[in-house]
Structure 1
């Protein structure tokens, strides 16, 4: 009975996450086997990509003035591309603000001359050291149109003294996709071999959440295998893999920078750190540039806010596989992603993201209504027979064997299975975790209001019980901000405990009394949308449990 009570309490609280980490995360042996499969592969003849340069500390404004530039803009993004290396190093999301009450848009990419440089390069390399090839310091010239829009492409030209003309034709769609067509025209009488490449460079590790249910850092899908590397992994060891298909990039919680090789071309992908973090690929089959002929290659670049519909759209339109995994749906992909679409439907229906969370919580409770009924009936009957159980313990306090026999007879008489509530709860745990995961990793909840004081469901409740939720003119320190919504969640959890059978052991009883307070403190800094979900779930659980308790009787109690 004690085990059942513990599982019931934990499954309806934040400790669902702990259960997930214990039962569903890969074991050390599994992790070791995966690492053994990730072999370093450098057997191709493709040359290395050597584009190192010193890190400087110019401000972003100063760095943008250093180079010649041309500008781009569409409905979703704006920024500029440096003519120094033809580098995409200035990108702003027009629809997303840094803070709810701010007019400043989110900036993702920064020039290489800043301390937090984050940029994308593309080009060609060769094993022939005598060929003059444009690099990250070469100055390109604009030919024709000088502003990049969905209706206007920009063409860049760079020529050497050996009769080679390098050309980049850059296109942009109305969302987050850059298409770069790279060409080489050979007006010499010699044959040269080239390898196309693209790379993402990030100067330093950004501020990350560092929470086990969310991956932030280098990732890719190479030959249908998802590769996720933490920044510290790359610091310790370079990762390389030859692949026939896929993509690679760097992901933040809400933002993505990715490069996608041309289809049907083999390439080597590298995740490495060499003064800067680099995620790059180079095609492993050479392009032979013959006299009076032209070679070309296409690289797609997606720098996006990780909107689910947009990411899924690129997965289909670019002919990719598993591009949607840049959103960290996790092990329960088959539950989490459908839950998102259901929640998104409710959001469009209700017009309020908080209402959508409540509605999807109701759906979840309805889906598990029969299972929970079964569990709650068992718990209710256990609670009603507690006086009889206490009497038996007093009678047989010196004989454990007789006590166990008497308890089994009582269970048989009343038709009670003391562990009957465990299975339904265990089955429902993945679904409760899935909705938590869905709300945590998707951008759609960002800056969405609920009602009253909750202006942003992706942020913690801004009020605090220590200044009576704003009635006292005092701003408590951050560790003392325990808002009204977390307090409500803790209170509903405390009420829910009152409906459950009380543990017979005094120590367990004290632990359970402290549990709602503990979770209130733990959940206080969590996004308000998650706390709202737990609060709504607690209320619905109590309502169902209360009705069942009123209808449940036992022979002993009559």
Structure 2
């Protein structure tokens, strides 16, 4: 077995093993059973009722909890990006939909729902209030079920804030001003005026709560659950992690509590959407992630320091709430406005040093070209241009290896069965001719982290969701919808569900082109004489074709473009070095050999 073919087999088998390991550790997404319908909260023991006592001052109590939804007036929300309403029962932001996004590609499909009130199938909401301290009781401060009244404004919109008010009957007047920008950031200003005749103590807080474990993608590559930034340190907690934290709480650890000195945020992230509490830049607060087992509620909290308000004084506190789509440009704009490292709320993964720049370039290309599919192809050209110096050395080395084939055959004849002598003489020949037999592997090895990083970008970033390319490819984040089983739509029957096992044989146009492009690239070199090598090379393109058939179309498109450019580069460079690849001859000889073997 010559070294060139050994290197090619090594690189190919390594790539195959990496892909196989990827499929094993990151299996295709599976539907997750909806458990929230079993956990609709109907008692008064929910959400913030279980705030742990950490960071309280002596004598403080905890706020009350949202009971089952009652009939209460609502304030409409209408902005270019959002639609929904705020309940005057607790002043909860619990009804929110995203106008710019639909559930499916069908233009008549419903817009995406983000937040929903208690009493529905999947309660998910944000609420704000004050935790009583000192001599105050629950009834003295606003909480989850406070009956607010609207005193200013009729509809929440851009430059149209609304003001809520509540008096406790004991000299304390609370006001809440809610405003929203033209994207996804709410600002909540809470004010308390003290006319009680004595100083009072209380602590403002914000809470985001989810009843029951939500539907998730169920894909290991993607984080869905708690995401938070605490003084520059990012933390991600899966939903499965939170019950374990509660178990620790029974032994004295009050959930997962972090004291943030200056900058941070905390909330829940889905694949494309996020709901996050953002205290003001430079504000110290207590960041809490927890699970309430008796009511099956997952929640995050941002608790601001306790305030003392003297008689006749007024105190105001501000907190923001991001509730919307993880659009890179919007999140970056909020980061530039002071939300510390907000772009890290997007799950860039372990290869963040590659995924971030790859996405930025892809996003810029999409803005310039106007089509994400063509942008992926241009991005491939850019990546190949960056790797061209290595590719050039590799292909020059391969061409020289081909020129040395007659000399290598003579060495094999002289060495006979003495493999040690053969290896020594080959190494002397490589050194004399300045040929590196391992250089052919390097470009392929460098492609592996780039491949994974691009897959991460295509899978997790919102900008690829429902992004069309040409014709039948209307969503580059989803597999090719065409299928060879119905002749790509010419026959009247359907195809297997993408989540079923039989979907692996339901190959679309792009996966087939992928297999062909790998096969042609393979034929650029003369077929090896060793039968084992022949078998590996013969099957590898088609194995990859089936394995990648259910990957995102954008990733398959990248691989096809990469194979095509690699083929062109290798052909031109090898010809420039005096070696003329006989691609057509290799194909014809391969057919003849296969026909002969069949007889």
Q: Structure 1 unaligned segments of length 5 or more: list them.
A: 23-40, 57-62
- Measure how far apart 1:333 and its partner are: 3.4
- Measure how far apart 1:173 and its partner are: 0.8
Tell me the alpha carbon deviations over residues 522-541 of structure 1, each in whole angstroms, 9 at most, x when there is no partner. Answer: 22222211111111111111
Aligned to 2:46: none
Aligned to 2:483: 464
Q: Tell me the distance in 2 between the aligned counterparts of 1:509 and 1:51.
A: 72
Aligned to 1:253: 271
Q: Tell me the distance in 2 between the aligned counterparts of 1:488 and 1:315.
A: 42
Q: Tell me the distance in 1 between the aligned counterparts of 2:136 and 2:535.
A: 78
Change (3 A) 1:477 1:435: closer
Tell me the alpha carbon deviations over residues 185-217 of structure 1, each in whole angstroms, 9 at most, x when there is no partner. Answer: 111112111111111111233333343443221
Q: Tell me the distance in 2 between the aligned counterparts of 1:5 and 1:468.
A: 34
Tell me the alpha carbon deviations over residues 238-286 of structure 1, each in whole angstroms, 9 at most, x when there is no partner. Answer: 3221111211111112111111113333221111111111111212x31
SS of the aligned residue for 1:247 comes to strand
Aligned to 1:117: 123
| 1:457–1:527 contact (8 Å) kept in structure 2 | yes
Tell me the alpha carbon deviations over residues 477-497 of structure 1, each in whole angstroms, 9 at most, x when there is no partner. Answer: 121432111111122122222
SS of the aligned residue for 2:344 comes to helix
- Measure how far apart 1:85 and its partner are: 1.1
More displaced, 476-485 or 418-427?
418-427
| 1:462–1:481 contact (8 Å) kept in structure 2 | no
| 1:11–1:429 contact (8 Å) kept in structure 2 | no
Instruction: Please say if 1:489 is aligned against 2:514.
Output: yes
Aligned to 2:560: 535
SS of the aligned residue for 1:321 comes to coil
| 1:186–1:289 contact (8 Å) kept in structure 2 | yes
Change (3 A) 1:380 1:233: farther
- Measure how far apart 1:389 and its partner are: 4.6
Q: Tell me the distance in 1 between the aligned counterparts of 2:225 and 2:126.
A: 15
More displaced, 504-513 or 448-457?
504-513
Change (3 A) 1:221 1:506: farther
Instruction: Please say if 1:44 is aligned against 2:55.
Output: yes
SS of the aligned residue for 2:96 comes to strand
Tell me the alpha carbon deviations over residues 463-487 of structure 1, each in whole angstroms, 9 at most, x when there is no partner. Answer: 1112221222221212143211111
| 1:380–1:501 contact (8 Å) kept in structure 2 | no
Aligned to 1:84: 89
Aligned to 1:350: 369
| 1:329–1:438 contact (8 Å) kept in structure 2 | yes
Q: Tell me the distance in 1 between the aligned counterparts of 2:418 and 2:529.
A: 17
Aligned pairs, number: 526
Aligned to 2:378: 359
TM-score scaled to structure 1, two decimals?
0.86
Aligned to 1:100: 105
SS of the aligned residue for 1:499 comes to coil
Matches within 5 A, 1:183-262: 183-237=191-245, 238-244=255-261, 245-262=263-280
| 2:75–2:156 contact (8 Å) kept in structure 1 | yes
Matches within 5 A, 1:253-272: 253-272=271-290
Matches within 5 A, 1:394-473: 396=415, 398-427=417-446, 429-473=448-492
Instruction: Please say if 1:279 is aligned against 2:279.
Output: no
| 1:379–1:500 contact (8 Å) kept in structure 2 | no
Matches within 5 A, 1:261-410: 261-274=279-292, 275-283=296-304, 285-317=305-337, 319-383=338-402, 385=404, 389=408, 392-393=411-412, 396=415, 398-410=417-429
Change (3 A) 1:239 1:373: same
Q: Structure 2 unaligned segments of length 5 or more: list them.
A: 26-51, 246-254, 498-502, 580-599
Q: Tell me the distance in 2 between the aligned counterparts of 1:14 and 1:461.
A: 24
Instruction: Please say if 1:70 is aligned against 2:79.
Output: no
Change (3 A) 1:353 1:163: same
SS of the aligned residue for 2:100 comes to strand
Instruction: Please say if 1:9 is aligned against 2:12.
Output: yes
| 2:9–2:533 contact (8 Å) kept in structure 1 | no
Change (3 A) 1:448 1:428: closer
| 1:315–1:323 contact (8 Å) kept in structure 2 | yes
Q: Tell me the distance in 1 between the aligned counterparts of 2:572 and 2:61.
A: 69
